[in-house]
Amino acid sequence: MNPIDGWQPISHSDTTADKCDEFQHRYIFKMEAISGDTVVEIVTTVFVLSTMFSMGLKLSITQLVGALRDRQLLIKSLVVNLVAVPLVAYHWCSVKHWIVS
């Protein structure tokens, strides 16, 4: 017996159709459908990361270093990413939960 999910080899007396049915039952029909939310999250993540990467390639090294040396820009960026974005996300989740309830 195979230790993976208790699978046992099919005997030679079984027909090919029976083998296909068992294979479909064991492996194919166990796949779960991907929800729309998951698809949207994946597509959004790929879009955002690819956009950031392509914009990053357009900047020269001196522009990147200059942006990192600008303390005010760096502080604004940190505040937005560490405070504002989580607050908006929390607010959106609470509103979404309120709408669903």
Residues 69-91, mean pLDDT to the nearest whole number: 89
Chain-centroid distance of CA 6 in Å reads 31
The model's pLDDT over 18-59, given as tens digits with 9 standing for 90+, comes to 666 666 666 555 556 778 888 888 999 999 889 988 888 888
pLDDT digits (tens, 9 = 90+) for 57-68: 888 889 888 888
Could you tell me which of 41, 10, 36 has the C-alpha nearest to residue 23? 10
pTM of the model: 0.38
Q: What is the DSSP letter of 32?
A: P
Distance in angstroms (rounded) separating the CA atoms of residues 79 and 84:
7
Identify which has the larger pLDDT, 55 or 7: 55
Tokens of 52: 């950031």
Judge contact between 67 and 73, C-beta under 8 A: yes
